[in-house]
Amino acid sequence: MPSEETRVALERLRWSCRRGLLELDLIFQGFITEKLDELDVTQREALGRLLRMSDNDIWDLLTERQSTDDSQVDELLGLLR
């Protein structure tokens, strides 16, 4: 059973996965349903950094029109793809 702090952090990530861009919303909702509870702390932090980006930037990263220097975010993008 996760600690209260972990549970709250996961709920914040779930909420942040709700996006304005339908395509991202669909991708993230499927991802959090299947993978969120399996992510380690480093991966959850990378997800938080990714979710602080604009929808257009996230979409460009997912579609590989843009790249990132953050190796942890890049690894997470691989999981999302």
Using CA atoms, how far apart are residues 48 and 79, in angstroms rounded to an integer?
Answer: 14
Where do runs of H (alpha helix) occur along 17-81?
22-34, 41-51, 55-62, 71-80
Residue 42 pLDDT? 95
Domain 4-80 sits in CATH at 1.10.150.250
- Structure confidence by residue, pLDDT tens digits, 16-72: 999 999 999 999 999 999 999 899 999 999 999 999 999 999 999 999 999 999 999
For the cut 80, the answer to whether the pLDDT of residue 1 exceeds it is no
User: Which pLDDT score, from 0 to 100, does residue 52 have?
Assistant: 96
Confidence band for 6, pLDDT divided at 50, 70 and 90: confident
In the structure, what pLDDT confidence band is assigned to residue 3 with cuts at 50, 70 and 90? confident
